[in-house]
Amino acid sequence: MKVSIIGAGNVGATCAQFIAMKGIVSEIVLLDIAEGLAAGKAMDLAQSMPALGFDTLIYPEVDDYSKTANSEVIVVTSGQPRKPGMSREELVAVNVSIVESVIKNAIKFSPKAVFVIVTNPLDTMTLVALKASGLPKNKIIGMGTILDSNRFRYFLSKKLQKPINEIEAMVIGGHGDTTMIPIKELATYKGIPISEILTNEAFEEVIKETMVGGATLTKLLGTSAWYGPGAAVTELVDTIVNDKKKLMPNSVYLQGEFGIDGVCIGVPCIIGKHGVEGILEIKLSDSDKIKFINSANAIKEVNGLI
Ligand SMILES: NC(=O)C1=CN([C@@H]2O[C@H](COP(=O)(O)OP(=O)(O)OC[C@H]3O[C@@H](n4cnc5c(N)ncnc54)[C@H](O)[C@@H]3O)[C@@H](O)[C@H]2O)C=CC1
Ligand SMILES: O=C([O-])CC(=O)C(=O)O
């Protein structure tokens, strides 16, 4: 089993690290256009294996896609990250041509792969990938709201002072500071609705922290995050490769679901070896329905720039 990661920067290399450490596949190809970067990261990672007890083969490549041939999954982490003070949407002009060229190169050698898109602005880049690939929509998955959901769980765990793994929560909508929608009704602690435990004011604070979670990290780090993103991609890749049929929110192309047409946006979907194997049209509150429509319209506006 082979996974190729295109873009060996902070997020791509962390994906390689976590995927290797979890032993999800036997081979990882780490490709970048920057001379030396993929080679250095792959060598460094390989030298960590004896101490940590894993032995995935990691092949570095500089722009030679033939080595990615017959990958089960292609992860696209190539492109610029934002700097403090920027929105993700401001990256659209610089990243659109990168994603287009990466997809066109990768698909020549792995026409059956499922593509996981990570580059921002995520929902627009997922649409760019869908169009550039010509693949059926189930093969193109944008990873954003898995990460947002994990951040929602983190801020809830901090507020409640409870272990994060006892908390379930989901974010849908766009992967943007103003477009994501943390769903109150689905947040639970040990199965108990968190709305029964937290005051409305405290819950709203958590929602605000979640929505700017990526921006907060970007301000602290001077560039955007990588551990949370790398872990979320790893969970998604594991779900695809091992055909887990798991319910997880991802950006997928909608054609009428939730009353939305022609955009990629985060919705709960069943993920397995064929990629998106179903979309679950959960019942939204009236206010979340409005937020979802506004989110889709905001994504459409950015899509208009490509
Ligand atoms: N969807 C999500 O949840 C998240 C998305 N991101 C996005 O992921 C992208 C990557 O972020 P980082 O890894 O932090 O950036 P980075 O700058 O550390 O790495 C990006 C890498 O892409 C490479 N690259 C650029 N053009 C390329 C091409 N044509 N072919 C191959 N490689 C190419 C660069 O040489 C660089 O090594 C950014 O757009 C960022 O906004 C980051 C975190 C989370
Ligand atoms: O914040 C960013 O620009 C990177 C990203 O998408 C995230 O960490 O959620």
Q: Which residue's CA is the closest to the ligand 2 atom numbered 4?
A: 224
Amino acid 112: pLDDT = 97
Please, what are the averages of pLDDT over each run of 10 residues along the chain (306 residues)?
98 98 98 96 96 95 95 98 98 98 98 98 98 98 98 98 98 98 98 97 98 98 98 98 98 98 98 98 97 98 95
Amino acid 246: pLDDT = 98
Amino acid 134: pLDDT = 97
For 14-120, list the strands marked E by DSSP. 27-32, 57-62, 73-76, 114-117
Residues 86-112 have pLDDT tens digits of 999 999 999 999 999 999 999 999 999
114 beta partners:
73
Active site residue 274: no
Amino acid 26: pLDDT = 97
Amino acid 127: pLDDT = 98
What residues flank ligand 1, with Cβ below 6 Å? Answer: 6-12, 32-34, 37, 77-82, 91, 95, 98, 101-102, 118-120, 122, 143-144, 147, 175, 223-226, 229
Amino acid 69: pLDDT = 98
DSSP readout, 71-115? -SEEEE--SPPP-TT--GGGGHHHHHHHHHHHHHHHHHH-TTPEE
Structural domains of the chain sorted by starting position, each given as residue range(s) with its CATH number in brackets: 2-142 (3.40.50.720)
Q: Which residue's CA is the closest to the ligand 1 atom numbered 3?
A: 144
**Which value does ipTM take for this structure?**
0.99
Distances (CA, A) of 77 to 152, 176, 198, 289: 23, 17, 37, 31
pLDDT over 70 for what percent of the chain?
Answer: 100
Distance CA 35, CA 164 (A): 40
Residues tagged in the binding site annotation for NAD(+)? 7-12, 32, 95, 118-120
